[in-house]
């Protein structure tokens, strides 16, 4: 079993890289943002409650998020290992994660921090969109579909943008939440000696190569 965290602000490429690692190594991507968006999509009372928080760019409360991950990592598809994408985001989540991993007898092998200049994050976030059918990610400037209006992967014609990506003000709130709360957990993992930094401003392929180098040196299960 091999478990890792991808840490970095919105737009730093965590989701993109998590999908690549998932394909290469059979570890499962656990994106708390995706889980919350699925709850919103389901129309549940919980989904309605979190939609307001997410659309404003704020963080959902720690207890809810900790419980969500505690339940998720016990599921059988996590047996080979997982990639946490978007969790932990606060010190309370980081310490709760340690406690739950210890309880389950699961290791935390590495925390990979994606380093990206703040100025380019806003452009990255506000320009991104995904194929509604297969979830492939695109960008208005950096990664357009090869044929306009057609998904490169599945040929679908419908695309969508995240509700919280369109509003520049909400994006700024998200980046501030990262700086004020999530960035504080970097020293926590640094002290444990498991933090590694990658240049998140390189191309998707080069970031992936850098991550592969780290995972290979740590002997990730193939």
User: Which residues are near ligand AMP by CB under 6 A?
Assistant: 10, 32-33, 36, 53-54, 57-60, 65, 86-87, 89, 93, 164, 174
Catalytic residue among 72, 123, 162, 172: 162
Minimal distance in Å, beta carbon 9 to ligand AMP?
9
Given the complex with ligand AMP, which of 25 and 89 has the nearer CB atom? Answer: 89
196 is catalytic: no
Measured distance CA(138)–CA(154) in Å, rounded: 13
Measured distance CA(184)–CA(178) in Å, rounded: 9
Minimal distance in Å, beta carbon 105 to ligand AMP?
23
Which strand (E) or helix (H) includes residue 144? none
Q: Would residue 202 be called left, alpha or beta, if left means φ above 0 and alpha means ψ between -120 and 50 degrees? A: beta
Longest Cα separation, the chain:
49
Given the complex with ligand AMP, which of 13 and 86 has the nearer CB atom? Answer: 86
Torsion of CA 175, 181, 186, 187, to 10 degrees: 140
Given the complex with ligand AMP, which of 34 and 150 has the nearer CB atom? Answer: 34
Minimal distance in Å, beta carbon 87 to ligand AMP?
4
Given the complex with ligand AMP, which of 150 and 188 has the nearer CB atom? Answer: 188
CA quadruple 88, 89, 94, 97: dihedral sign: negative
Minimal distance in Å, beta carbon 14 to ligand AMP?
7
Q: Quick one: 191 exposed, middle or buried, by C-beta within 10 A (0-12, 13-18, 19+)?
A: exposed
Catalytic residue among 37, 113, 124, 128: 128
What is the SS3 assignment for 129? strand
Minimal distance in Å, beta carbon 222 to ligand AMP?
27
89 is catalytic: yes
191 is catalytic: no
Given the complex with ligand AMP, which of 82 and 87 has the nearer CB atom? Answer: 87
Location of structure tokens 């990639």:
83
Measured distance CA(108)–CA(90) in Å, rounded: 17
Measured distance CA(190)–CA(132) in Å, rounded: 38
The CB-nearest residue to ligand AMP is: 33
209 is catalytic: no
174 is catalytic: yes
List the catalytic residues: 14, 89, 128, 162, 174
């Amino acid at each position: 079993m091999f478990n890792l965290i991808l840490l970095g602000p919105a737009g730093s490429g965590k989701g993109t890289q998590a999908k690549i690692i998932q394909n290469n190594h059979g570890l499962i991507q656990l994106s708390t943002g995706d889980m919350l968006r699925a709850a919103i999509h389901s129309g549940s009372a919980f989904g309605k409650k979190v939609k307001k928080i997410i659309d404003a760019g704020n963080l959902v409360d720690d207890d809810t998020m900790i419980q969500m991950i505690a339940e998720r990592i016990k599921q059988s598809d996590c047996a080979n290992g997982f990639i946490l994408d978007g969790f932990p985001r606060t010190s309370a989540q980081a310490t709760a994660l340690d406690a739950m991993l210890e309880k389950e007898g699961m290791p935390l092998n590495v925390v990979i921090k994606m380093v990206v200049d703040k100025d380019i994050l806003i452009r990255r976030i506000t320009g991104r969109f995904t194929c509604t059918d297969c979830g492939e990610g695109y960008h208005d400037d950096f990664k357009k579909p090869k044929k306009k209006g057609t998904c490169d992967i599945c040929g679908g014609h419908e695309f969508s943008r995240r509700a919280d990506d369109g509003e520049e003000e909400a994006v700024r709130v998200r980046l501030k939440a990262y700086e004020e709360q999530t960035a504080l957990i970097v020293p926590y993992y640094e002290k444990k000696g498991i933090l590694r930094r990658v240049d998140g401003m390189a191309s998707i392929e080069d970031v992936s190569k850098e991550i592969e180098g780290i995972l290979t040196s740590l002997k990730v299960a193939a």
